[in-house]
Amino acid sequence: MENFVFHNPTKLIFGKGTIPKIGEEIKSFGIKKVLMLYGGGSIKKNGVYDQVVESLKRNGIEWVEVSGVKPNPVLSKVHEAIEVCRKENVEAVLGVGGGSVIDSAKAIAAGVLYEGDIWDAFAGKYKISNALPVFAILTISATGTEMNGNAVVTNEKTQEKWAISAKCLYPRVSIIDPTAQFSLPKEQTVYGAVDAIAHTLEYYFDGSDSDIQNQISESIIRSIMKSTEVLIDNPQDYEARANFAWCATIALNGLTAAGRKGGDWSCHKIEHSLSALYDIAHGAGLAIVFPAWMRYVYKQKPQQFERFAKHVFSIDAVGEEAILKGIDAFKAWLRKVGAPVSLRDVGIPAQDIDRIVENVMKQGPSFGVLKKLGKEDVKQILLIASQ
């Protein structure tokens, strides 16, 4: 196990009927005016918007709104909201929605206090050290952004989907009411499951060794798989929805990272190019990339991939046979719940692979922890993903 410091500053309020607490939580920080950021308007259909507005009014908090955040959040919307924040002199940003909304809220919160273009932070030209306070009400469990300092945004002009991370971007308070996710389409639940599993696996397969961390990660994956299958048949099963939501949060709130080597993140880097170029769902892209990456790199640490096969899928075999059966079982489960498992499933032709590789390699000449990947490695992984 590697040395680590575990500290998560986000206060998380979880459970039924918790959304109306947001006003008093914001008020406790002495904040009197916020930007409320949300997406396409589903929060007005499921009652979340009314609960938030009533709570803000009750606690004397003013707000201005920016809506229209896309599932793959874009830089132009971040720029738009930054200008609104400056014009209206807001003191904090409240994201009400899924990962795309909360990620955008973080970028906005940092951008308001930066004189340049906040994209500089994504490009590594500016280190974020200050931001407006961020608050979050989560309506789609997937990214874990409600309890970490990370954010991902796409620059539409350059077709680059890159990330930022800073301690000041951790939400001060996040609220998760699993009942607010009862009305999610099956597709969003499935893609959220894939995203949360992928976050867990990025740490699990980074070459580190820790029995307790392995067991925590394996239990998260098994619980997500079980909950997802229940929710496909009954999206309003509260226990399944609650287990799913909590698993997605702890998959990327630092718990699974403790004692690890920082995670590998190769699959995320490759997938970001897929969703930047083709605007597919992040979870869909990860379902395509992850099994292909596993097949390409498993010889770097075969014992961990064999453990995955046995502890997650109960594969009764040893060595390479177990590993390959485990990867196949993972791919079969993804297909079973309705996720795409190849580039052709989302209409991306094999002849586009070179274009995708070029976009991926904008992030640097190599990346990865378990195995350093260069241009040719990425191409081989995408060729496997095209089968």
Determine the average pLDDT of the residues in 66-79: 96
- What does the pLDDT look like over 13-39, one tens digit per residue? 999 999 999 999 999 999 999 999 999
> Mean pLDDT over all residues of the chain?
97
Distance CA 290, CA 335 (A): 13
Query: pLDDT tens digits for 153-196?
Result: 999 999 999 999 999 999 999 999 999 999 999 999 999 999 99
List the Cα angle 171/121/9 in 5-degree steps.
20
Residue whose pair of structure tokens reads 């990025």 in the numeric block: 202
The whole-number average pLDDT for the span 112-119 is 97
pLDDT of residue 20: 98
Chosen CATH of 11-180 out of 3.40.50.410, 2.40.30.10, 3.40.50.1440, 3.40.50.1970:
3.40.50.1970
Closest CA to 152 of 140, 160, 161, 142: 161
| Mean local confidence (pLDDT), 88-105 | 98
Q: How far apart are CA 109 and CA 66, in angstroms?
A: 13
CATH 3.40.50.1970 boundaries in the chain? 11-180
What average pLDDT does the segment 326-343 reach? 98
Helix 319-336, helix 282-297: angle, nearest 10 = 170
Q: Which two tokens stand for residue 72?
A: 């793959």
Mean pLDDT within 290-301? 98
Mean pLDDT throughout 306-323?
97
Residue 41 has pLDDT above 90, yes or no: no
266 vs 173: CA distance, rounded Å = 30
What pLDDT score does 232 carry? 97
Query: Given this model, what pLDDT does residue 195 score?
Result: 97
Tokens 């226990």 sit on residue: 239
Task: Output phi, psi for 74, to 5 deg.
Answer: -120, 155
Domain 186-385 has CATH 1.25.10.10: no
What pLDDT is recorded for position 7? Answer: 94
Q: What torsion do the CA atoms of 356, 362, 367, 372 make, to the nearest 10 degrees? A: 60
Q: What is the pLDDT of residues 244-284, one digit of tens each?
A: 999 999 999 999 999 999 999 999 999 999 999 999 999 99
Its pTM stands at 0.95
Beta strands in 146-294 (DSSP E): 150-155, 160-165, 173-176
Report, as an integer, the average pLDDT of 131-135. 98
Mean pLDDT over 40-63 rounds to 96
* CATH 1.20.1090.10 location in the chain: 186-385
